[in-house]
Structure 1
Amino acid sequence: MGHISRGHQAAVQSIYESAESTSRRKRRKVAVPEPGDEQADVVALRLSMDSSKLKCWPLTLHAASFIRPPKHSDRNTLERAKSFGTGIDSSNEHEALIFVTIYNKLSWGHRQLLRLSQHVLLSSQTLGDLYNVIPCQSDAIDQGAGNEPTQGSGEELTPNGTDTSREGSSGAVMWINGTLYGDGDSGDYAEKLFELLDTLHSDRKERPELARGPLMHDATFASLCLRLHQPYWLLHAGNCEHHFVIEHIRLHHPADPPTSEYPLTTHLTPPLLDLCRACNKVPAMYAILGDVRLGESPFVICAPCWRWMGEPTGASAEDVTVVPLPKYERGWVRQLSSTA
């Protein structure tokens, strides 16, 4: 298996680099053992594969059109599946597993989506259970708001992304097949969307036909009519949008983790951090609001550049707010990497 894997990677890399027209830096070559260093059984396997009469077996340069280079979303920060279960086994013998993938819009191209995470839930669990385990950068912003760091103090700030209950949520709504599922809080976005629809004329083409569903914490997956690979929509934290897709549905197998461990998070893509807009070299650490020297608000900047800028002075200094950005290397990414 190791020989086949290394040989395949070497062949794919050679074809991809031969067909690549740009002058980008070449990838690190995959080490393949020399024929003289191979074991006898590996040599026999290689000779058997090389003697295959199938014309489709060897890869040619035409395969470059179908070879996808590694993407950022292929990386997984989790070493193993993270459990958010309650520890109570389900009594349903016919429990189904719902495999859900969460997508985010890219900040530089809102028409493109990036896979954020993947989760597995039970059919008896609710949309609210899914909402509670979705990691989101917006959950880590509010904690640092208004806490201006003292330069040189060495204060460590960590985001609040590990709180899966989302206490103090400003509201949320899910859209599935024309039905809105709110969270029932005082800022229920389902109510706000219907209030917005009431302001639109019924003859306008952009007015969608929406129905009111139960609260997301009461709507189980078993009660929903779901479509595989159909993009659904989630809105929360003001204007933070996610799309989620039901990838797969199957029955719970005895070899699967016990039902008491669900929901599970099986994949978590590393977050794309904004670079400092002053040096454009390192990730930003602060968001500066109301500083006339920077030309825009908010302005994300790294710690060295902010120190070189110096503290704001004058009458406008009181209007400047420094919001520390979450440190994901110490935040929810690392927490989710640990075992339950």
Structure 2
Amino acid sequence: MNENIPVDEFKDINTKRFHIGSFQNEWLTRLDTANYSYQQKDQAAFDEEFAKEFGIAPETFDELKSICSVESLRSHTEDESPDTAAVPPDTTLQTLIQRKKKEDYKNSLNIDRTNRSHIYEEQLVGPSSPSHTLHVYTDTVLRELSFSYVCVCVCVLQESIALCKKPDDFADLVPEGEIILSIRVYQTAAFDRFNPVRPHATLQMLGSHYLTDLRDAVGCVSDLHVFGELSNTPNMAPDFVSKDHHKSAYFYFEHVFYNDMRFPECQDISATTIEWAKTRDFPSFSQAKMEDTKFSDLQVKVGYPYLYCHQGDCEHLVIITDIRCAHMEDCLDRKMYPLQTHKNLVHTNKCAVCNIYIARWLTTSDQLALSDPCLFCDKCFRMLHYDKKGRKLADFNAYVYVDPAVFS
């Protein structure tokens, strides 16, 4: 049996281990070039081939093509532009009747559709803020929010934006025969009992991407943490967030730790795990650099959970769910990748006082709070804990809080 062709190890769960690059070569060797070429066939030649394959006479095929065409479904003249959102009041179709009921119900609801990113931005730098504080932190968070908001838009509008998108520059065209990997990334979670967990994000990567491209595309709230107790200096701008200081990280695939060593500050944080494993009955592990390893260089199992670790102990499950050749209906603009196709929505943690704005502060040992710990927006935090001159009104510990929902 060819080891480069994946077969099930456990049915409907995961495959056996195989080499991605070798699997790609097997595809390109066995498939005809026309199967993965971006060149569209001539319509007349396609019709002739279609009719021949299904054993249909040319006259019958032309008749079917005319009857089943989209133009035959038109209920208005060509120069008329109908309102596709409007439902005729006298319709007898059950589908339209049910659609009308749902639209009327949705219109009767009073829903606040303000985007949480806009609320957070107003809270950070808007006119309601008492002062323009924490500028460095604010810029970082808003930059992450902007990235997250764009990713959500791409997810929602993938059919219209990314599907079949061709690059403006031919140099950015995804080459024919390139492979596309679908990768699910899960947030850190611990459960006492079984609970269905949705992936935090689903990304499409190219086989020519490096592991560092995936690492940079994964958004995690732990990268934005600010260290230190700030109750005495709430206006102090932090020098850095955690991802600016702790840059070390690794992926674990099939007994190999791939460490991110792009920066002088990076450390081999997998060494401790490898040394610990040597004292137990574990198979031997090896190491490689994340920035030198492409996805096509990996040996993996499709459907099998692997590990991404950063910030020392923040761990995410990574599952490769699909590997296939790119085709003409894919997004063919290399600059669009890593392409986010799904993002899980997380509930926002609001301020415990106003229950309107997103929490920005977390307090402990706080005599003025309703609970310990307690979350506050910036406005309520300052009004409750400080006088007009900025002096503390009670003893408490305050820490900058980053809501996990900023990435959803």
TM-score, normalising length: structure 1: 0.56
Q: Which has the larger radius of gyration?
A: 2
Query: What is the aligned counterpart of 1:131 among 186, 197, 215?
Result: 215
Alignment of 1:1-340 (within 5 A): 37-38=91-92, 78-81=155-158, 88-89=171-172, 92-106=175-189, 112=195, 113-142=197-226, 168-184=245-261, 185-186=263-264, 188=266, 191-198=268-275, 202=279, 204-205=280-281, 208-261=282-335, 262-274=337-349, 278=352, 285-288=359-362, 291-293=365-367, 299-303=374-378, 306=381, 309-311=384-386, 313=392, 320-325=397-402
**How far does residue 174 in structure 1 lie from its aligned partner after superposition?**
0.7
Look up the SS of the partner of 1:321 in the other structure.
strand
Amino acid at match of 2:329: A
**How far does residue 195 in structure 1 lie from its aligned partner after superposition?**
2.8
Percent identity over the alignment? Answer: 19
Amino acid at match of 2:376: I
Task: Give the whole-Å Cα distance in 2 for the aligned partners of 1:143 and 1:266.
Answer: 33
1:173, 1:188 within 8 Å by CA — same for their partners in 2? no
Please, what is the CA RMSD of the aligned residues?
4.7
**How far does residue 315 in structure 1 lie from its aligned partner after superposition?**
9.3
Q: Mean Cα displacement is larger for which, 208-217 or 112-121?
A: 208-217
**How far does residue 249 in structure 1 lie from its aligned partner after superposition?**
1.0
| Aligned CA distance change for structure 1 residues 145 and 101 (closer, same or farther; 3 Å) | farther
Task: Give the whole-Å Cα distance in 2 for the aligned partners of 1:106 and 1:297.
Answer: 22
| Aligned CA distance change for structure 1 residues 110 and 192 (closer, same or farther; 3 Å) | farther
Look up the SS of the partner of 1:192 in the other structure.
coil
Aligned length: 249
Amino acid at match of 1:138: S
Look up the SS of the partner of 1:131 in the other structure.
helix
Task: Give the whole-Å Cα distance in 2 for the aligned partners of 1:197 and 1:265.
Answer: 33
Alpha-carbon deviations, 1:92-112, whole Å to 9, x = none? 432111111111134776965
Task: Give the whole-Å Cα distance in 1 for the aligned partners of 2:277 and 2:371.
Answer: 34
1:171, 1:186 within 8 Å by CA — same for their partners in 2? no
| Aligned CA distance change for structure 1 residues 236 and 304 (closer, same or farther; 3 Å) | same
1:105, 1:114 within 8 Å by CA — same for their partners in 2? no
| Aligned CA distance change for structure 1 residues 86 and 128 (closer, same or farther; 3 Å) | farther
**How far does residue 136 in structure 1 lie from its aligned partner after superposition?**
1.6
Alpha-carbon deviations, 1:280-316, whole Å to 9, x = none? 9667513335645369976433457635642374895
| Aligned CA distance change for structure 1 residues 90 and 216 (closer, same or farther; 3 Å) | farther
Look up the SS of the partner of 1:105 in the other structure.
coil
